[in-house]
């Protein structure tokens, strides 16, 4: 898509270096794509947005996996078929997902975390690492086109 902008590139290189990860072109490009994404993307969509289809899908998956482990990227459970990825540097948040077109909107703030505490010492769970809260509906665009 667009090239990598210098600002970001420098930032990413430092982040990668401090985690002892190599700053490969594929990695920088994937981060750049996610940086500009308006909504969470599937691995395939990410590959599609990469400059000149030279990067293999396997590489995309491998990098997403490591970015996820480092906590830089998070995967969403909005489809039981496909994972969608976004940068996790944004404030913790949830989404509205259109069941017709799949478009998502981020929702600021999260009240669900408060609820978490109530569950911690019950139900035989040692600890709760994360939660997912997603709303599914119909965006206005899809409603108009009667989907």
Partner DNA sequence: AACTACTTGCAAGTAATTTGCATTTGTGAT
Partner DNA sequence: ATCACAAATGCAAATTACTTGCAAGTAGTT
Per CB under 8 A, residues contacting its own copies are 75-84, 96, 98-99, 105, 107, 111-112, 115-116, 119, 123-143
Q: Of 105, 132, 93, which Cα lies nearest the Cα of 116?
A: 132
Q: For residues 10-39, which are near DNA according to CB under 7 A?
A: 13, 16-17, 21-27
Cα–chain center distance at 33: 11
Q: Which of its own copies, DNA, none binds 54 (CB below 5-8 Å, type-dependent)?
A: DNA
Stretch that binds DNA, among 56-64, 103-111, 119-127, 129-137 (CB under 7 A): 56-64
Closest approach, Cβ 118 to DNA, in A, equals 30
Binding residues for DNA, how many (CB under 7 A)?
28
Q: Which of its own copies, DNA, none binds 141 (CB below 5-8 Å, type-dependent)?
A: its own copies
Contact 53, 47 (CB under 8 A): yes
Contact 29, 51 (CB under 8 A): yes
Stretch that binds DNA, among 32-40, 53-61, 119-127, 133-141 (CB under 7 A): 53-61
**Contact status: 8 vs DNA (CB under 7 A):** no
What gap in Å lies between CA 46 and CA 13, rounded to an integer? 20
Q: Which of DNA, its own copies, none binds 105 (CB below 5-8 Å, type-dependent)?
A: its own copies
DSSP-assigned letter for residue 112: H
Contact 29, 16 (CB under 8 A): no
Contact 41, 84 (CB under 8 A): yes
Q: Are strands 41-42 and 84-87 parallel, antiparallel or unpaired?
A: antiparallel
Residue ranges that bind DNA, judged by CB under 7 A? 13, 16-17, 21-27, 42-44, 54-59, 61-63, 65-66, 80-83
């Amino acid at each position: 898509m667009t090239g990598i902008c210098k600002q970001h590139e420098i930032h990413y290189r430092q982040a990668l270096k401090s985690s002892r990860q190599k700053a490969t072109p594929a990695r920088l490009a994937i981060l750049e794509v996610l940086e500009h994404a308006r909504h969470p993307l599937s691995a395939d969509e990410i590959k599609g947005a990469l400059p000149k289809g030279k990067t293999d899908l396997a590489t995309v998956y491998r990098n997403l996996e490591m970015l996820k482990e480092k906590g830089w990227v998070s995967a969403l459970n909005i489809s039981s078929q496909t994972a969608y990825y976004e940068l996790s540097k944004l404030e913790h948040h949830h989404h509205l997902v259109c069941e017709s077109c799949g478009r998502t909107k981020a929702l600021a703030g999260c009240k669900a975390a408060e609820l978490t505490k109530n569950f911690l010492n019950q139900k035989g769970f040692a600890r709760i690492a994360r939660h997912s809260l997603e709303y599914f509906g119909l965006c206005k665009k899809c409603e108009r086109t009667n989907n």
